[in-house]
Amino acid sequence: MKILMLGWELPPHYAGGMGTVCYSLSKHLAESGADIDFILPFEADYSEVTFMRVNPKYSKRLVRKPLTYRHLQQIQATVYGKVKFEDQYVESGMTINYDMIQSQYLKKVKDAVTNKEFDVVHAHDWLTLRAGMLAKQMTGIPLIIHIHATEFDRSGADDKTYGNPTIHDIEYEGMMMADRIVAVSQWTKDLIVRRYDIPSDKIDVIHNSIDLYSPYLVESTNKDIYRYIVKMKEQGYKLIFNVGRHSIQKGLIGLLEAAKLALDIDPKLLFLFIGGGDMHEELISKSAELGISGNVIFTGFKNGSYLRQAFINADLFIMPSVSEPFGTTVLEAVGFGTPVIVSKQSGVAEIINGAIKLDFWDTVQMADAIVSVVKNPSLSETMVQSSYIDFNKQSWDLAAHKTKITYQNAMGAFV
């Protein structure tokens, strides 16, 4: 089966969960016989990836000055954002915005489908949907779109708001045109049905899984990077950990408020936040306003051994998202043997029964749960054991198998 996979990031060049999910899913699909061409919006060295072709060259010179991952990061793929670059990759003083990245990406996908035959096109999230629709229009091959997050999740929208209307429209159009939709959780499937009016029988739920020993987690491990935290733990402190983008979606203001309440009960708690984003500075200010900055650590964006060592040292992982389609980091935490607290408004809550589940807005319950878990080893051990059973039920082989069924259903619809 020949698959044209459209993604926006891929380890080792990635910022969020979607990159790692694309990597693992593609790998396991390839292992079960799929032949994958993976198209990214930037050029980078992917010689380590041998199970599929990343950015293959179909015709000789397609883009005169291709973008690098660094360019993409700076633009952060906002519809309105634009960044001025002065380096060798782009013309000096040139301004790059979303439309230009899109047109370069569309060009690459057009080049792929003109020069090669594919059985399906599999597009991940809104940034690749236009290219996915173009591929379907040009060739008639079935379009599968994979929803890792919708604009409702990202913008923390309530029942009356939509987030960015342009993005919402692209998502809606993509979902309408898709032959099948993959949702990463029942939570997300329900949201797609409710907010985009898509028939539920067009949507398959395929939960993410996790490779704890995948390359992006097992980089060289430096045990000394959290020497301070280890020392504080020897003094009786407990470490509560969160990793993710610092955006409205992640519910972190609420977590800081809960942290304040928890610290009033037990001052020996440290809260570690790994991540950056548009709310990063607001969170720093908030921790100071609450008077808890001595117990809250912000590292900025980190990955590799920084993440791994954080998971290993954490006494509790908490993901209080306002709306989280899946929540891969929770699986990682469980894989490292850490008890987890998750918001009910998340996909991962559906599959990890050993997690404490609460409403993202209920800071009192959150504070109580934090203190209860770190103070009661019996509770935390039980949570870990029970979570690990559910963790073991998840596998990328299973997810890959379900994805192939989705492909077959989509192709069947065309026969």
Q: How far apart are CA 175 and CA 231, in angstroms?
A: 51
Nearest distance in Å: CB 361, other proteins: 23
Q: Which of 152, 159, 163, 196 is nearest to 321 (CA)?
A: 152
Measured from the CB atom, is 170 or 269 closer to other proteins? 269
The window from 52-60, 69-77, 107-115, 296-304 that contacts other proteins (CB under 8 A) reads: 296-304
Closest CA relative to residue 16, chosen from 247, 176, 223 = 247
Q: Does 234 bind other proteins (CB under 8 A)?
A: yes
Strands 203-205 and 180-183: parallel
* Binder among 228, 278, 405, 414 for other proteins (CB under 8 A): 228
Q: Which of 47, 59, 235, 378 binds other proteins (CB under 8 A)?
A: 235
Report the C-alpha gap between 364 and 98 in whole angstroms.
Answer: 41
Q: Where are the alpha helices (DSSP H) in 178-267?
A: 186-196, 227-234, 252-265
**Residue list 265-294, contact with other proteins (CB under 8 A):** 280-281, 284-285, 287-289, 291-294
How is residue 55 written in tokens?
A: 């950015």
Place of tokens 């979570």: 387
Q: Which is nearer to other proteins, 149 or 274 (CB)?
A: 274
> Using CB under 8 A, which of 1, 100, 232, 398 touches other proteins?
232
* Dihedral sign of CA atoms 134, 410, 5, 9 in order: positive
Nearer residue to other proteins within complex by CB, 199 or 236: 236
The binder of other proteins chosen from 82, 223, 231, 344 (CB under 8 A): 231
> What distance in Å separates the CA atoms of residue 210 and residue 253, rounded to the nearest whole number?
28
Q: Tell the smallest beta-carbon distance from residue 299 to other proteins (Å).
A: 6
Q: Give the residue with the Cβ less far from other proteins, 100 or 253.
A: 253
Task: Give the residue with the Cβ less far from other proteins, 198 or 310.
Answer: 310
> Helix (H, G, I), strand (E, B), or coil: what is residue 246?
coil
Distance, in Å, from the CA atom of 141 to the CA atom of 187, rounded to the nearest integer, reads 29
Q: Looking at the DSSP assignment, which residues form a beta bridge with residue 241?
A: 272, 317
Cβ 15 to other proteins shortest distance, Å: 19
Q: How much is the CA Rg of the chain, to the nearest whole Å?
A: 22
Identity of the amino acid at 314: A
Q: Yes or no: say if 148 and 326 are a contact pair by the CB < 8 Å rule.
A: yes
In the complex, minimum distance from the CB of residue 70 to other proteins, in angstroms, rounded to a whole number: 18
Binding residues among 123-142 for other proteins as defined by CB under 8 A: none
Query: C-beta of 330: minimal distance to other proteins in Å?
Result: 23
Q: Is 297 in the site for other proteins (CB under 8 A)?
A: yes
Residue 137 or 221: the one with the smaller Cβ distance to other proteins is: 221
- 91 or 281, CB closer to other proteins? 281
Binding pattern to other proteins, positions 72-91, x when CB under 8 A? --------------------
Rounded least distance, CB 229 to other proteins, Å: 8
- Beta strands 82-85 and 94-97, pairing class: antiparallel
Closest C-alpha among 380, 154, 360 to residue 257: 360
Rounded to a whole number of angstroms, the minimum distance from the CB of residue 304 to other proteins is 12
Q: How many residues bind other proteins (CB under 8 A)?
A: 28
Block residue for tokens 């409702």:
152
Residue 299 within binding range of other proteins, rule CB under 8 A = yes
**Where are the alpha helices (H) located in 178-246, listed in sequence order?**
186-196, 227-234
Smallest distance, Å, CB 119 to other proteins?
Answer: 47
Interface contacts to other proteins, rule CB under 8 A: 224-232, 234-236, 280-281, 284-285, 287-289, 291-294, 297-300, 306
